[in-house]
Structure 1
């Protein structure tokens, strides 16, 4: 796990003419992809293509343009074998480096080893492999810190009064899901007034989130709060609340307090509509830029930064107007 370590379409042929020398900015010194007609081509291997990944893709493309890098994208569609095959093809067709969000956190080691054996460095981002020492560099959000911040927000919202909380959980076979849950539970553990009445493993899917909230509302119609670990589930949560007339703004009596993570377009709009109390917005622009910059450093044999975690940017309905420029989902 990351905290333990540091605290499909056809593949387009890769046309590249070699590595160019370069220098410049970045999180710990940086690289440009090339000079003149020279271009470095980098393969990007997604675990699956969801709304959040689309946001990451847009910022990767922006960073690639700034750094003079060509990107080739592949989507594993939640299939570890497909991801392995796609990475193998990227290597055989000449990619100089690979950015990866692993689907299977253990199985990806074989693919990283194969890339390294071919002299192709691998950088992971957003979701870490089981051991970050396998990759040249990793950057992602800080799932534990975000979960803890969410828990602390619920403690403040409850203000010592009895508080029934539903915890939606992400996938419990990866660090993001596990640590976002652990951070929340650690933060509320000392608040005896807060009772987690339901923990719902969702595998990040809105369908399971919807069913979990519906069931919780049936058994606890007066519940006080819902923890949403990914904002791709907000529409499902709102639908369940609206069905029982519990979808209220933060200013209305009977509002169900909601804290969510991501800072995606739906989270941005929910803040503007005053339907959620807090969003912890992932710093996608910094994450993607750092991932690509450090991969270029590795490709060129330059110093590479240590793995890093980026805590979410806290945004409330009262601060969204001021902080919107910092929230990636508000830029679309």
Structure 2
């Protein structure tokens, strides 16, 4: 708290007195002891000073008012505002849940719960709850009570938070710590109902929403893991076709341009497959394989390119072969591709 705000609080004057259990503004009572008011804080008699020099205010008939009296009065008047208006703006909330996949990527599901004005059918003050007492309680909010705490000096402490969580009740806090202690009744009412900062202490409805978001984040994580596992299976799959007439397709490339060497335009369309290395023995020669795989290259008809663009590699396929004249000889060419 800065020095200026502290001085403003110390210089503030008591503007409310208690009469028959209700807080009245200085403008609503008679002058002097005829105001028939006591201090809302220390419960001693007040005198209404409504002269021509200073602003109208209450003063203690005997003794001197303290900052605690003014703060207690603000706290009580704020509760009276809620009871009389039977409405309050609830805080905005940003709810999220995250889950991490096996690659370390974080998947997050989020939802923003907007602030809105809630109208109550009933409002109670100093309502006794399991293990604590609320400043004000409105009903209904999401088919349950909404406990409202007023912060003038001290925020809701950890002990009370724990009690609220154990009871699983709904509670919000309205922060009036920055409000001018000389504020008018109208300004206080606006602050309490709508404009002052506010936050959730506990909200079971939002906790249920967070559980749903957690399920959504977990599903995103599981789908990512499944996609990675499928990719790993594809990459780890042996490069051996399931049938002798099938091929394992590795990829393709196409190109076109001008060849300075041959001084003519050229087009290039090649398909690359893989097969196991095998040993071959004939009358005229012997080929001894060392195991593993070797690559085969085929010319490719351009009609196959669109289909090839949609594939993931490596993949098992069957090929429809043809031939084309290249120079003075015929060479094999792939005319069609069928994914298995």
Q: Normalization by structure 1: what TM-score?
A: 0.26
Greater percentage in helix? 1
Structure scoring higher RCO (CA < 8 A, sep ≥ 6) equals 1
TM-score (ref. length: structure 2):
0.26
- Point out the structure with the larger strand share: 2
